[in-house]
Structure 1
Amino acid sequence: MNYHAGDEDYLDRNFTTSDLNDTAFPPLSAYPPKRAELYIVIPLTILYSLILLAGLIGNVVTCIVIARNKHMHNATNYYLFSLAVSDLLLLVTGMPVEIYYLWSRYPYVFGETFCVLRGLAAETSTNATVLTITAFTVERYFAICHPFWSHSLSKLSRAIRLILIIWIIALLCAIPQAMQFGVVFGHTEEYTVCTVETQLEHAFEISTFLFFVTPMTLISILYALIGFRLRRSAVMKRSTSSQDSQYSVASAHASASYCKQNRSSQRVLKMLVAVVVAFFICWAPFHVQRLVAIYTPGSDHHTVYAIVTYTSGILYYLSTTVNPILYHIMSFKFREAFKETLSRCCCETEQRPYSQLSKQKRLLGGSSKKFSESLTEASSGIQEMRTQLLFPHQLIIISYLIQVFRK
Structure 2
Amino acid sequence: MDPTVSTLLQSKPNSSLFEEEATNETIVNQFVQPTWQVTLWAIAYALIVMISVIGNVTVIWIILAHKRMRTVTNYLIVNLAFSDASMAVFNTVFNFVYAIHNDWYFGVGFCRFINSFPITAIFSSICSMTAIAIDRYMAIIHPLKPRLSSTITKVMIAVIWLVAFSLTFPQCYYAKTIVYDTRTICLVDWPGDFGGKHQLTYQIAVIILIYLLPLLVMLVTYSIVGVTLWGGEIPGASSEHYQNQIQAKRKVVKMMIVVVVTFALCWLPFHVYFMLGSFNSDIYKQKYIQQVYLAIFWLAMSSTMYNPIIYYCLNQRFRSGFRRAFRWCPFVTVTEEDKHELQHTKTFRMTRSYRTETTSVVNQNSVDQEETTSKLIKA
Q: TM-score, normalised by structure 1?
A: 0.68
Partner of 2:14: 16
Q: Determine the C-alpha separation between the residues in 1 that align with 2:6 and 2:92.
A: 20
Partner of 1:2: 3
Deviations 1:151-204 (A, max 9, x none): x23211111111111111111111112223221233x2x232112222533111
Q: Determine the C-alpha separation between the residues in 2 that align with 1:307 and 1:123.
A: 23
Q: Determine the C-alpha separation between the residues in 2 that align with 1:340 and 1:38.
A: 40
Q: 2:60 aligns with which of 58, 63, 83?
A: 63
Partner of 1:223: 222
Q: Determine the C-alpha separation between the residues in 1 that align with 2:263 and 2:252.
A: 16
Residues 45-64 of structure 1 aligned to structure 2 (within 5 Å):
45-64=42-61
2:258 is aligned with 1:274: yes
1:141–1:223: 8 Å Cα contact kept in structure 2? yes
* Identity among equivalent pairs (%): 24
Please list every run of at least 4 consecutive aligned residues from structure 1 whose deviation after the TM superposition is greater than 6 angstroms.
Answer: 234-237, 260-266, 343-346
Deviations 1:273-324 (A, max 9, x none): 5234212112212222222222211248726744542232112211111122
Deviation at 1:137, TM superposition (A): 1.3
Partner of 1:155: 149
Deviation at 1:58, TM superposition (A): 0.4
Give aligned pairs, total.
Answer: 320
Q: 1:298 aligns with which of 272, 282, 291?
A: 282
Deviations 1:126-161 (A, max 9, x none): 111111111111111112222122xx2321111111
- Structure 2: stretches of 5+ with no match in the other structure: 192-197, 331-379
1:79–1:132: 8 Å Cα contact kept in structure 2? yes
Deviation at 1:28, TM superposition (A): 1.9
1:58–1:321: 8 Å Cα contact kept in structure 2? yes
Deviation at 1:269, TM superposition (A): 6.5
Q: Determine the C-alpha separation between the residues in 2 that align with 1:121 and 1:218.
A: 24
Deviations 1:385-406 (A, max 9, x none): xxxxxxxxxxxxxxxxxxxxxx
2:6–2:98: 8 Å Cα contact kept in structure 1? no
User: What letter is aligned with 1:72?
Assistant: M
Partner of 1:167: 161
Larger mean CA deviation between 161-170 and 281-290 belongs to 281-290
Q: Determine the C-alpha separation between the residues in 1 that align with 2:44 and 2:96.
A: 10
Q: 1:161 to 1:265 in 2, by over 3 A?
A: closer
Q: 1:31 to 1:214 in 2, by over 3 A?
A: farther
Residues 110-259 of structure 1 aligned to structure 2 (within 5 Å):
110-149=106-145, 152-186=146-180, 188=181, 190-198=182-190, 200-201=198-199, 202-233=201-232
Partner of 2:97: 100
Q: 1:336 to 1:185 in 2, by over 3 A?
A: same
- Structure 1: stretches of 5+ with no match in the other structure: 242-253, 347-407
SS at match of 1:148: coil
Partner of 1:389: none
Larger mean CA deviation between 301-310 and 127-136 belongs to 301-310
Larger mean CA deviation between 24-33 and 42-51 belongs to 24-33
Q: Determine the C-alpha separation between the residues in 2 that align with 1:317 and 1:3.
A: 10
Residues 332-371 of structure 1 aligned to structure 2 (within 5 Å):
332-340=316-324
Partner of 1:321: 305
Q: 1:25 to 1:163 in 2, by over 3 A?
A: same
Q: TM-score, normalised by structure 2?
A: 0.73
Deviation at 1:27, TM superposition (A): 2.2
1:21–1:184: 8 Å Cα contact kept in structure 2? no
1:231–1:265: 8 Å Cα contact kept in structure 2? no
User: What letter is aligned with 1:143?
Assistant: A
Q: Determine the C-alpha separation between the residues in 1 that align with 2:65 and 2:5.
A: 41
Q: Determine the C-alpha separation between the residues in 1 that align with 2:229 and 2:121.
A: 33
2:66 is aligned with 1:72: no
1:128–1:166: 8 Å Cα contact kept in structure 2? yes
Q: Determine the C-alpha separation between the residues in 1 that align with 2:139 and 2:171.
A: 35
1:68–1:341: 8 Å Cα contact kept in structure 2? no
Bigger relative contact order, structure 1 or 2 (CA pairs below 8 A, ≥6 apart):
2
Q: 1:103 to 1:301 in 2, by over 3 A?
A: closer
Q: Determine the C-alpha separation between the residues in 2 that align with 1:105 and 1:40.
A: 15
2:251–2:314: 8 Å Cα contact kept in structure 1? no
SS at match of 1:16: helix
Q: What is the root-mean-square deviation of aligned Cα atoms in Å?
A: 3.6
Q: 1:284 to 1:227 in 2, by over 3 A?
A: same
Q: 1:5 to 1:43 in 2, by over 3 A?
A: closer
